[in-house]
Structure 1
Amino acid sequence: MQPDPPPLCRAPEEAFVRDHTRLRTVPYLPELRLHQAADPYGLGEHTEDTGLPYWSFAWTGGLALARHVLDVPELVRGRSVLDVAAGSGVVALAAALSGAREVTASEVDPYAAAAIRANAEANEVRVTALCADILDSRPGLHDVVLAGDVFYDKALARRIEPFLRRAAASGALVLVGDPGRRHLPRGAFTALARYDVPARRAPDGSRRRRTTVWQVPAR
């Protein structure tokens, strides 16, 4: 008997996303618009059941990875792409705009799923939002796997690194955007590009944060 496929995101929370955010151009990515919250932390008071609404703004690592995909569209053009732990879906949107054949954005938060759907509609691209925890599964048949800013949390890092390595071992191009998060495995990935991304709270007090796009090696 075949297992049921993970459910597609058809979350009623989409009305909440639209009511509590504003559709605005994304810093560093003028090609894109996202439903963004003026005060994500204040908005979190309304989403206590799912935690901080990280889907309501674009994270630094995601900005760099999306910028890289837009700048080098041949990475995804005509290919099947998975954006894992997608948040707002900004990386998935960049892949779709860059000509990916199909794009899937996976998330476990129904609000994030709703935001991905709303953001895809706003940018007139097709992105499939997938509501599922896929990190313990075998990677699907995706040509490219993208992960923007996923090493901020120790527990998540412990689960997502093996998933990304399995995807790379299966033949996928696996790219990670990271601004120097604490739980990034040092010396394990290959640096492809670096970007100075606008940031609210750069460690040195500046308004930009050096962010690296890494490739996860196949072995």
Structure 2
Amino acid sequence: MRLLPVPSLPEIRLYMAHPGSGLRRLLEPDGEADESVVAPQPPYWAYAWAGGTVLARYILDRPSTVAGRRVLDFGAGSGLVGIAAARAGASEVIAAEIDRNGIVALGLNAEANGVAITIIDEDITAGPPLAVDLVLAGDVFYGQEVARRVVPFLDRCLAAGIEVLVGDPGRAWLPRPRLRLVGEYLVPDVGGNGGSAPKPSAVFAFVVADAD
């Protein structure tokens, strides 16, 4: 892992995987893997994904979005979004992450950027919303089962009067009818590892479902 500036976010540095780290192979399924062996959890925390990057860029360009507010970085991964919120003046930043390696990386990244982040190391999707003003959710709709857990949780946040912003490059399980576009940037995906060219990614407000 190397401490590097984030593509499209030179204000922030993260400990990220690089071509020589060998971590990228853990992102891809192995067709010959022994099913009796529990595979390591993919190191999502080692990369700056497009949804988190676009959300962080949006926050840094519009610090009034978070200034003086209590913020939750939901599914924090590397902590990129939470770090951006802290740098932009959030009064408190909480990061929710369940991957044990991600939790360590998150703490190291916060320290490297000189910000304070409170880490919650458990799945919060089944419980009530935390006492925050704003939820920031970058790249949380990458799988169907995950989306099925996330949407009800975000609905409970809205019902509690908590604003929700989503960053995403347009992944398959994005709940598009529930989203209102608020910003768009060209950013690379997966931290540029492997030469990913910048592509459009968006920031959305998660909104209440229309009554049928």
Alignment-mate amino acid for residue 34 of structure 1: L
Please list every run of at least 4 consecutive aligned residues from structure 1 whose deviation after the TM superposition is greater than 3 angstroms: 42-45, 199-202
Deviation of the 1:214 alpha carbon: 0.6
Q: Residues 119-143 of structure 1: CA distance to partner in whole angstroms, max 9, x if unpaired?
A: 0000000011110000011101100
Note closer, same or farther for the CA distance 1:28–1:140 as it changes in structure 2 (3 Å cut): same
Q: TM-score, normalised by structure 2?
A: 0.86
Deviation of the 1:215 alpha carbon: 0.5
Which runs of structure 2 are paired with 1:84-95 in the superposition (5 Å)?
84-95=74-85
Is 2:187 the partner of 1:194?
no
Is 2:24 the partner of 1:41?
yes
CA contact (8 A) 1:195 1:211 kept: yes
Alignment-mate amino acid for residue 41 of structure 1: R
2:104 pairs, out of 114, 123, 143, with 114
Structure 2 partner of 1:3 = none
SS in structure 2 of the partner of residue 187 of structure 1: helix
CA contact (8 A) 1:80 1:100 kept: yes
Alignment coverage as a number of residue pairs: 195
Identity percentage of aligned residues: 47
CA distance in structure 2 between the aligned counterparts of 1:106 and 1:49, rounded to whole angstroms:
23
Which runs of structure 2 are paired with 1:9-88 in the superposition (5 Å)?
21-39=1-19, 40-42=23-25, 50-88=40-78
- 5+ residue gaps, structure 1, are 1-20
Deviation of the 1:187 alpha carbon: 1.9
Q: Residues 68-91 of structure 1: CA distance to partner in whole angstroms, max 9, x if unpaired?
A: 111111111111000111110100
- 5+ residue gaps, structure 2, are 29-37
CA contact (8 A) 2:169 2:201 kept: yes
Which runs of structure 2 are paired with 1:128-167 in the superposition (5 Å)?
128-167=118-157
Deviation of the 1:178 alpha carbon: 0.7
Q: Residues 144-196 of structure 1: CA distance to partner in whole angstroms, max 9, x if unpaired?
A: 10000111111101101111121122111100001010000122211101111
Structure 2 partner of 1:15 = none
